[in-house]
Structure 1
Amino acid sequence: MSGPVAPLSTHGDAVLTGLRLVDGIDLVPRADLAIVVRDGLIAAILPANEAPASTIDLGGAFVMPGLINMHTHFSLSLPGAGGDAVSALSEHDLALYMADGARRTLLSGVTTVRCVAEKDGADFALRRAIEQGHVPGPRIYTAGRSLCCTGGHGHDTDDTLECDGPDAFTRGVRSQVKQGADLIKIMISGGIAGEHEQITTPQLTREEMAAAITTAHAWGRKVTAHAGPAAIIAEAVELGLDCVEHGYELTPEVARLMAERGAALVPTLVVTRAGAFFDDLGVPPWMQERSLNAGPRHLQSYRYALEAGVEVLLGSDMPPFWDFEGTSAVVREMEHMQAGGLSAPDVIRAATAGPAGWLDASGAIGTLAPGRFADLIAMPEDPTVSASALRGIDFVMKGGVVVRDDEGRMR
């Protein structure tokens, strides 16, 4: 043995050439450029003929920022045999299971995630392990455990914390901030995965929502909410809610309110079109029926949001890397977003610069510009024409470190 073995590299150097750049700012691809990476950051973007000697020639590939998935659960356990197996894992087994999901997520082209309910604080340990180079994975922003009422959405798993009354929700927010949460998630209605509820079931009082939102904002954390029906969404948005997850039953009026108040939407369209995924996990018939039947109304809600000018952000809910309908779940979500009415360039923004802005991280991620992390992906086809181009992702870099190189471009 020649010397000590270092942990995984978390930052690197490179000069990328032979690329067509979609930088997340100007969404028209630009050719004849080179990206110079130093110590994990983009040091310069130069005309190719002015760049230092190339270390990686991408052969004409389209390069864009790494994807940011704003609705991720590494410890997801839905009703059914697959979810029961995850719930039965010991804390040690769960940590390894989540680490494998993080690795596969990164390899799928997702370089940053926003976790919106994880079990028992394991997400904080996973984040530390990734940052320290112990395991590979995306950058993690996390809500820790989500907050629900007694018997509320997700109450039967360890990724939620049951609270009742304003005081309990105040303590719940503070408990997650204490662990290191970057944001707070609250469950304000029923959903597709709760057997004893409906999507339309309101679950928090106005006072409970106000307590959670006010406390989180006082601590400098934004709040997102699992939410289905329009009325409860409107009430939460009026109280200062920053983001809506799913939004299954928006109305034009509530969509306009969201746009006026700057509340974003993470639509997760794929979750009401996920029959094959549910089959994989052995999800019971009642949940499958509720989910798939909600699909048409869910899509209409999404269109209301687009028409109103609501900012929509990418989030798959399903594991981003899941092999689904010929691609990954995260790419399939992007295809649904485009098919539902968002242009391909705007889908790119919803997957990169938009989420970075919501996370208050625009100076670090979401675009390819000097001073940002060198988090990027490459593919042969043009993603500004069709989101389906991302089915061809064959190169992934995070912090200047190449983690996927299907074509063997590194020599």
Structure 2
Amino acid sequence: MDSLLMDCTVVDARVLTGAGPVTDAAVWVRGDRIAAVGPAAEVAAVARAAGDVREIGLGGAYVTPGLVNMHTHLSLSLPGNGGDTVKDMGPHDLALHMADGARRTLLCGVTTVRCVAEKDHADFALRRAITAGRVPGPRVFTAGRALVCTGGHGHEGTDTLECDGADGLRRGVRSQVKAGADLIKVMISGGIAGEHEQIGTRQLFADETRAVIETAHSWGRKVTAHAGPAEVIAEAVELGLDCVEHGYQLTGPVAGLMAARGTALVPTLLVTRCEEFFAELGVPEWMRRRSLDAGPRHLESYATALAAGVEVLLGSDMPPFWPFEGTNATVRELEHMAAGGLGPARALYAATLGPVRWLGAAADLGTVEPGKYADLIAMDADPLASASAFRGVRWVMSGGRVVRDDASGWAVL
């Protein structure tokens, strides 16, 4: 097996297409896109007639689009010894560290990521390298550096940009757009990782939040906000916010407002239930306690959002590939989302087409349909029966290239 781009037909599969599941199915891949999908006999015959005779058998596996992780930090450095190791990296070490994380992310079946604060604009170089085929990794949509007030959440790192006042935040938005940002990330409240703040600490005034949203929208960029308390979220949603990260303390009325305005939620449930991860990184006790203590309210907030009809999207905050509780962080987050009231079918949507629609990329990604990029993953269990099926991902294709095949022992190294 190799990862060279070759026309092929994926056969002996059960494919979950945009129109529903197709058993005994085949997917014809030409170049980096899907040419046809449907009953195996029909699709294979058309492919052979066109001269594409290479076939890849998947042994009856379920095939879905690759997963999309909407809250990614490939340069994450939390307080503690593990985070200090990343903080101390020079630019060359950091680039290689992020490239390795991108490769590992792709191999676990995450074929698209949304980066929501990365150090030193290294994410743009990584995106260019992946697009050019020099580095294996997922498709990257990125916010560049997140915008934060002086001393605000995450101000300690080079993955944020301190800005104050409406004019300062407008300049901050423009600076990220200039660098190549696909979206804008802003911190509007405190959070778990800030020692001198609380989750409920307001960090921007209304005119500052308005300046971020208006400026970003004028440049055709959506805005997502790190936010915890309901009242701060409500203000931002009224001003046109496109997405909330975390949403630790939502109330029914605020969740209803989000649903009415079309503001999505990336709940990152792992953030308040990852004691093992924090211990591994040597995270200080104050942060562990704040995280775990916020857990019950966080889960209640998530349930409130679901009940109100808020669109929820998959995002782990932990590195997508991180080995955690018997799987990787992306799948574990999806399991929490499904168990928290979403269910497996809606969890599949929250991990594929939902994020892609938010990113404005539904013409190219998110479903197994002709014309879409051939970003596919395969597993033996049915993901419509349980989100835990993704624990068994054993085959990954990205843009028509097979990058992992457990049956043959192949994986991009």
TM-score, normalised to structure 2, is: 0.96
Residues 208-248 of structure 1 deviation map (CA, whole Å, 9 limit, x = unaligned) = 00000000000000000000000000000000000000000
Corresponding pairs, count: 401
**Deviations 1:226-282 (CA, angstroms, capped at 9, x unpaired):** 000000000000000000000000001000000000000000001100000001100
Secondary structure of the 1:22 match is: strand
Letter in 2 for 1:18: D
Q: Do 1:163 and 1:172's aligned partners in 2 also have CA atoms closer than 8 Å?
A: yes
Aligned to 1:198: 198
- Does structure 1 conserve the Cα–Cα contact (< 8 Å) formed by 2:119 and 2:160? yes
1:289 alignment partner in structure 2: 289
Any residues of structure 2 matched to 1:158-169 within 5 Å, and which? 158-169=158-169
Instruction: Determine if the alignment matches structure 1 residue 367 to structure 2 residue 360.
Output: no
Give the C-alpha shift of residue 409 in structure 1.
Answer: 8.8
Separation in 1 of the partners of 2:55 and 2:41?
A: 14
SS of match in other structure, 1:185: strand
Residue 262 of structure 2 corresponds to which residue in structure 1? 262
Query: How far, CA to CA, are the matches of 1:13 and 1:271 in structure 2?
Result: 41
Q: Does 1:376 align with 2:387?
A: no
Q: Does 1:14 align with 2:2?
A: no
Q: Deviations over 1:65-84 (max 9, x none)?
A: 00000000000000000001
For 1:236, the equivalent position in structure 2 comes to 236
CA distance in 2, matches of 1:66, 1:357: 14
Question: What SS does the aligned partner of 1:294 have?
Answer: helix
Partner of 1:5 in structure 2?
none
Return the offset for 1:355: 0.4
What are the within-5 Å matches in structure 2 for residues 131-170 of structure 1?
131-170=131-170
1:64 maps to amino acid: T
- Report runs of 4+ in structure 1 exceeding 4 Å deviation: none
Which of residues 27, 31, 36 in structure 1 aligns to 2:23? Answer: 31
Structure 1, residues 34-54: CA drift from partner, whole Å, max 9, x if none?
100001100111321121345
- State the Cα distance separating 1:12 from its structure 2 match: 3.8
Q: Give the drift of 1:62.
A: 0.3
The 2-side partners of 1:368 and 1:48 are apart by 14
Stretch moving more, 37-46 or 260-269:
37-46
Q: Which moved more, 1:29-38 or 1:227-236?
A: 29-38
Residue 365 of structure 1 aligns with an amino acid whose one-letter code is L
Q: Partners of 1:186 and 1:398 in 2: how far apart?
A: 30
Task: Verify the 8 A CA contact 1:57 1:409 in the aligned structure 2.
Answer: no
Q: Is residue 48 of structure 2 the alignment partner of residue 47 of structure 1?
A: no
User: Hey, what's the Cα distance between the residues in 2 that align with 1:81 and 1:409?
Assistant: 35
TM-score if structure 1 supplies the norm length?
Answer: 0.96
Deviation, 1:133, is: 1.0
CA distance in 1, matches of 2:330, 2:41: 36
Aligned-pair RMSD on alpha carbons? 1.2
CA distance in 2, matches of 1:336, 1:129: 33
Distance in 1 between residues matched to 2:84 and 2:308, nearest whole Å: 40
Counterpart-to-counterpart distance in 1, 2:306 and 2:133: 40
Q: Deviations over 1:302-324 (max 9, x none)?
A: 00110000000000000111110
**What secondary structure does 1:226 align onto?**
strand
1:4 corresponding residue in structure 2: none
Q: Report deviation, 1:33.
A: 1.6
- Name the CA shift for 1:188/1:12 in 2 (closer, same or farther; >3 Å): farther
Query: Do the aligned partners of 1:124 and 1:180 also contact (CA within 8 Å) in 2?
Result: yes
- Partner Cα distance (2:8, 2:84) in 1: 44
- 2:220 is the counterpart of 1:220: yes
Unaligned 5+ runs, structure 2: none
Structure 1 residues 325-352: Cα deviation after superposition (integer angstroms, max 9, x where no partner): 0000000001000110001010000000
Matches within 5 A, 1:101-120: 101-120=101-120
**Matched ranges for 1:120-131 at <5 A:** 120-131=120-131
Q: Distance in 2 between matches of 1:263 and 1:299?
A: 19
Contact 1:397 1:403 in 2 (8 A): yes
Deviation (angstroms), 1:164: 0.4
Amino acid at match of 2:191: G
